[in-house]
Amino acid sequence: MIDGAARDRLIARMLMVGVRGASEDDPALRADLDACRDAGCAAVILFDVDLPAMSALTGAGVTRDEAKARAVRNILGPRQTGALTEHLKRFLGDSAIVAVDQEGGDVARLSRARGFPCTLSAAGCAALDESGRRSEAAALARTVADAGFTLNLAPCVDLALNPANPIIAGKRRAYAAHPSLAAACASLVVEAHRAAGVASCLKHFPGHGSSTADSHLGFADITQTHSPELEWAPYRMMFDALGRSAVAVMTGHVHHRLFDPDHPASLSRAWTTGVLRERLGFEGPVVVDSLDMGAVTGRYAPEEALVLAINAGADVLLDCNNAPGDPRACPAPAMHEAVARAVTDGRVVGGIERLALSAARIEATLVGRPRA
């Protein structure tokens, strides 16, 4: 018989959701945190821009730049963000994970526009000499740590193999086209975050840099463009150098029909377990890229996607709840209920023992990380 209380605790540990609101007095934040409490969820991710609000503004004729400035989500400035993250930690408890996407350059939730220090893109960082790269990595980690975050969903180790790629090379998110340079630069970022007491997450396995499409909008098919050994190499190098459970890895919504004809890597056991864990030897937590992205929502019902992600081998079930379109209530309770149903009726391979393995990985790598 399944122990319901134990099952619920383990499911809760696997959930990470986006929350709305920039202060503890904000009714939207109160509602979302109440929902997190109901679901037992202790992991959240923050953003500077609320995309549902931004899409509503642009739909009403507001310019994109003005809409972006007005559609505030969580992050207004350094002091306010620090107060918000401290409140979240108090509310969520000692095992809280407060995450952010802070790669640098264009992918900076802690942006210059919000009063944070300017950060270089990955490509800009790679153009520096060794000393400059170390300084830039340290500055990036310090910005994240000073704002109170415990997990940075960075660095991006996709390779700049397709210069026309709209979401990787087009935003200068790749350090280089060569895996050894990408791994060297990314390792400095991980080490700097570790020294600052912040966990890191490599992304987007198995490689988004050769794609021709943006997985925020739909499947990014890499069947004809992916170079397996080349694009896996940064992961292999970093696992060897840093340890096989020293970081998290985010799996991307990229589709390679020869590896899995039906599902993107994020929802594919062939990729997440077969390649990342068994072939590359990764032992840390796997974070599925946000389940509210078009690549997933356009093809899967929410419960189906959750079950596929778990059975693929994912440990952290991420729903940023920040996609363009109509706003949604906090998804944590519905996610919890969906996974509980799947465990109870046997759709989660391995059952409660499988959930326990994920919780252990998360606790070991992402929770309560001391300064080096």
Q: Which residues are catalytic?
A: 216, 289
The three-state (H, E, C) secondary structure of 150-182, written as one string: CEECCCECCCCCCCCCCCCHHHCCCCCCCHHHH
**228-233 contacts at long range (C-beta below 8 A, 24 or more positions apart):** 230/159, 230/161, 230/179, 231/158, 231/159, 231/161, 231/179, 231/206, 231/207, 232/206, 232/207, 232/275, 232/280, 233/179, 233/180, 233/183
Scanning the chain, the segments in alpha helix (DSSP H) are 4-14, 27-39, 51-59, 64-70, 78-92, 122-126, 130-146, 179-195, 228-242, 269, 294-297, 302-312, 332-344, 351-366
Cβ-contact 215, 254 below 8 angstroms: yes
Half-sphere exposure of 286 (CA within 13 A, CB side): 30
Neighbours of 65 (CB within 10 A): 8
Cβ-contact 106, 123 below 8 angstroms: no
| Whole-number Å distance between alpha carbons of 265 and 324 | 23
Q: How far is CA 7 from CA 15, 196, 276, 330, in A?
A: 13, 33, 26, 21
What residues contact residue 81 under an 8 Å CB cut-off, 6+ apart? 46, 74, 75, 110, 114, 147, 148
Q: Which of 181, 241, 235 is CA-nearest to residue 204?
A: 235
